[in-house]
Structure 1
Amino acid sequence: MKILSKLLVMMFICAVLLILPVSAVAGENVENGTLSLVYENDIFHSDKYYTNGVRASWLSEPDKISLLALRAAGYVPFFPAGSSVRTTYSFGQNMYTPTDIKIENPPKNDRPYAGWLYGSVGLIAETGKRLDQLELTVGVVGPASLAEQTQKTVHRMIDSPRPEGWDHQLKNEPGFVLTYQRSWRSYVSKSMLGVPYDITPHAGVALGNVFTYASTGFVIRYGMRLPQDYGPPRIQPNLPGSGFFVPQEKFGWYLFAGLEGRAVLRNIFLDGNTFADSRSVDKEPFVADFQYGLAVTKGNYRFSYTNVLRSKEFADQDSTSHDFGALSVSVQF
């Protein structure tokens, strides 16, 4: 049943793309600002752990940024010379819950209730073969994140079980994360059965009281008319992706699969509050994500569906992995 649901999602995405009109500015190598919307949820699986994430982001036109941002990019020592520089702005909310949301006082060895409401500002530098992403995220963890109200409202609207344990969520705490990621597009670029494919490795680091980790991995794309991109955007921590893509007039598609490993030093949603007593669990120091999915492009539009399999994140987790899906749409205008 899960596989059928995913196939239906992919078929719907393809059908939408085939009937979308192509903007007059859409064409080879024409780039504009890009709006990306990402929705991640375990709707096809179970209502627990990382249960929901939403993110809206805006990526500026190449080099159409403020003088201050352009100067800031010049001071980043690892940005490549001669790259196209853009700014990105994002806003989002994540929510995390224990195994059984119907229990009013969840077991203390289960994942704590937590919410994360945040805004991000970043710089990206792109050369055609390499993408560098530097982003600062600030927000709030705890009741001020409004995750409790969001989940209860949505569950009431869809007649789903009411989450009962939000009184035990993490306490309010300001949060920040500084992330840097680098991707090398088409590090390997060949064809199989007459269809092109490429491999894009990546590496990154995050520092902050919300997340601190180092990561590395790769993404394989296989399809027709592969767009110049680095995979669809995702909500961190995850394989990097980006709102960046070069539009193309004809319909294109690609299947993709990727793997990332993270060495985790801090995850506030498992370790608990930094300066206050709160629920917490013993986290796993190494976490892996395996993802696969489909991306389709036409003109100024890119749609994707991703399925993510995340390895065990804390000692008493009731399963060896957690499964969730991600839908994204990016539009240039």
Structure 2
Amino acid sequence: MKTLRLAAMAAVLAATGASACPAFADEKKEPVTGAFNFTIENDMVNGTDRNYTNGAALQYTDTLNRVPWSVRAAAAPFIDPSADIRVTYQLGQNLYTPQDIERKIPDPNDRPYGAWLYGAVGVLADTEDTVTSLQLSLGMVGPAALGEPVQSFVHSVIDTREPRGWDSQIKNEPALLLTFEKKWNERLLGAPYGYQIDAAPYVGGALGNVFTHVNGGMMLRFGEDLPQGDYGPPRIQPSTPGSGYFEPADDFGWYLFAGIEGRLVGRNIFLDGNTFTDSPSVDKKVMVGDFTYGIVFNVGRARVSLTQVVRTPEFSGDDDFSTFGSLGVTYAF
């Protein structure tokens, strides 16, 4: 009799499409196929308008393991063959100006005007403990990078100082940059009340006529149920790129972060000037450091990051630290 009742129950469940284990069915999530990320960095939030004054980048991170054969072949020597791989596509622009942008003829001892417009393709190779980032950027430095019209338009909209020295900017030059970075994620001792702390040390480098450097640093995170696959907020080159992809949260989440990075600089076109022709330049400093801190919010499939950056002086004659803020918005779908 008991056997007949169980058989009847199974038949009803099968007919209605119900599950005998509804709790497990509710926990199943829809797969995440990709993510869009927009990052903007600007020093206006700190009341300044000099050095690295603005950067903007739009990035798309593709479906897991959907990698064109040409990209996979090019990246193969640098990544773990067992890693989960995502391809990233990016479009960005960086602007650099001297301290006094109202001078028609800029101070020759100050940083020259410069702009960089680029497109990039890269890979993110993620294992359980590491993520390797490899990216190739192609674009233009100089008037073709549209720095003058962009900054002039923005300054007219917000009714602030007019930049007048762009005629002296770095000349047009094709720009190529290859960057590599490897991060390790280590879960540290848990903090009181169920909070967590983890650390992501990293090493990397850049090679090209835009930037050439080696870098290393560490990012610390503190929060509750720290999301995996998230190695810090997205950033714009030459800073550590962070994570353009993340695993969506079930509800609301957050974490605080702080990081430090050092770069040994061999070339910076925005300080050294053009590669093949004479242009404004200054004597760069070989050692440059960044201190970064901020907060990240995760709400379902959306992530918002607020970052503050303090950068050490980058060239001789500049004794002041430069500061700028960063806003990153990511949506996973």
Report the TM-score when normalising by structure 2. 0.89
- 1:37-52 to structure 2, matched below 5 A, reads 37-45=38-46, 46-52=48-54
Alignment-derived partner of residue 22 in structure 1? none
**Cα distance per residue 1:102-155 (max 9 Å; x no partner):** 111111010000000000011111013210011000110100000000000110
Counterpart secondary structure, 1:287 = strand
Using the alignment, how far apart are the partners of 1:31 and 1:70 within structure 2?
21
Deviation at 1:190, TM superposition (A): 2.2
d(CA) in 2 for partners of 1:288, 1:29? 41
1:190 aligns to what SS in structure 2?
A: coil
Shift of 1:32: 1.9
Aligned equivalent of 2:308: 307
Deviation at 1:240, TM superposition (A): 3.0
3-state DSSP of counterpart to 1:317: coil
The secondary structure found in structure 2 opposite 1:170 is coil
In structure 2, how many angstroms separate the alpha carbons of the residues matched to 1:131 and 1:301? 21
The TM-score normalised by the length of structure 1 is 0.89
What's the counterpart of residue 9 of structure 2? Answer: none
1:62 to 61, 64, 76: 64
Q: How many residues align?
A: 305
Relative to 1, partners in 2 of residues 1:29 and 1:82: Cα closer, same or farther, differing over 3 Å?
Answer: farther
SS at match of 2:66: coil
Q: Match for residue 8 of structure 2?
A: none
Tell me the residue number matched to 1:326.
Answer: 326
The farther-off stretch of 58-67 and 143-152 is 58-67
CA contact under 8 A between 2:245 and 2:332: conserved in structure 1? Answer: no
Measured against aligned partners, the alpha-carbon deviations of 1:287-331 in whole angstroms (never above 9, x if no partner) come to 000000000102111100000000010001141x10000000110
For structure 2, list consecutive stretches of 5 or more residues without a partner in the other structure.
1-26
Map 1:179-190 → 2, pairs under 5 A: 179-185=179-185, 187-190=186-189
Q: How does 1:36-115 map to 2 (within 5 A)?
A: 36-45=37-46, 46-73=48-75, 76-115=76-115
Matches within 5 A, 1:12-31: 30-31=31-32
Secondary structure of 1:248 counterpart: coil
State the alpha-carbon separation in 1 of the partners of residues 190 and 178 from structure 2.
37
The aligned amino acid for 1:90 is Q
SS of the residue corresponding to residue 275 of structure 1 reads: coil
Unaligned 5+ runs, structure 1: 1-25
Secondary structure class of the residue paired with 2:190: strand
Q: Which residue of 1 aligns with 2:10?
A: none
> Superposed, which structure 2 residues align to 1:218-297 within 5 Å?
218-228=218-228, 229-297=230-298
Larger RCO, structures 1/2 (Cα 8 Å, 6+ apart): 1
Secondary structure at 2:162 match in 1: coil
The residue that corresponds to 1:199 in the other structure is: 199
User: Cα distance 1:232–1:27, how it changes in 2: closer, same or farther (>3 A)?
Assistant: farther
8 Å contact kept, 1:239–1:259: no
Query: In structure 2, do the counterparts of structure 1 residues 29 and 289 end up closer, same or farther at CA, with 3 Å as the change threshold?
Result: farther
**Partner Cα distance (1:125, 1:188) in 2:** 20
Indicate conservation of the 8 Å contact 2:55/2:92, yes or no.
yes
Query: Which amino acid in 2 is paired with 1:222?
Result: F
Q: Is the 8 A contact 1:217 1:261 kept in 2?
A: yes
State the AA in 2 paired with 1:216.
G
Aligned Cα RMSD in Å? 1.6
Amino acid paired to 1:178: L
